[in-house]
Amino acid sequence: MQAAHPAVRVAQIGPNAIIQTVGALEEAWGRAEAQAFLQRIGRDDLVERLPATMVDEQEFVALIGALRAELGISAAGQILARSGERTADYLLANRIPAPARRILPLLPPAIGLRILLRAIAAHAWTFAGTGRFSYSVAGGRATVCLANCPECRGNAAADPICRYYEACFQRLLRTLITPRLVVSETACMASGAEACRFAIVWK
């Protein structure tokens, strides 16, 4: 099965990309140090009030860039991975209907994934912004692709660096499909790929 669902081309992204990254910073560093960092990068507004509506996707791109400049790609990736997990937890608690949370884990993984990824694709613009989301499910594996991925946009690295999306997808899919599922970014635009590709496997 192949499916492609271009995200709506608006330069906005859901506020959780910002909210949960700030939350991950506070978890890792403590509130005072996290706030000092936000002030250093000119985001005093996030100290006073977190966004409640859609934000310019460039705000997320810039926040990631500031984290990588401060910490390096690897350490920033740990913060971003935790942010991705927190985002998934928010979605599970607030955006996934209770019947879906009950039924999807009871289905064979490939069937559950097709249903869930189709639903995710319909709302891809809320987390991909001007990125383009597509997916495929075949046999015992699936693939998610993000072209023009906000997380690595403008970056160069030898290895994949999209830890936010990798962790978010894994937490969400493990909870709703099977805890045996693993998501790994296998190709990244930062290392020259045409799109960021996430392999999904389960046993």
User: Across the chain, what does the average pLDDT equal?
Assistant: 94
State yes or no: pLDDT of 35 exceeds 70: yes
pLDDT tens string 127-171: 999 999 999 999 889 999 999 999 999 999 999 999 999 999 999
Closest CA to 64 of 49, 45, 48, 84: 84
- pTM for this model (two decimals): 0.93
Question: Is residue 78 within 8 Å of 85, Cβ to Cβ?
Answer: no
* Residue 139 pLDDT: 84
The H or E element that residue 11 is part of is: none
- Per DSSP, helices labelled H in the chain are 16-29, 31-40, 44-48, 57-71, 73-94, 98-103, 109-122, 125-128, 163-176
For 47, what's the count of Cα atoms within 13 Å in the CB-facing half-sphere? 15
Output the CA torsion sign for 194, 14, 67, 167: negative
Output the CA torsion sign for 28, 31, 170, 41: negative
* Residue 3 pLDDT: 57
Class of domain 2-201: alpha beta
pLDDT tens string 72-107: 999 999 999 999 999 999 999 999 999 999 999 999
State the average pLDDT over residues 164-189: 98
Q: How confident is the model at residue 1 (pLDDT cuts 50, 70, 90)?
A: very low
Higher pLDDT, residue 1 or 63: 63
Q: Give domain limits for the chain.
A: 2-201
State yes or no: pLDDT of 6 exceeds 60: no
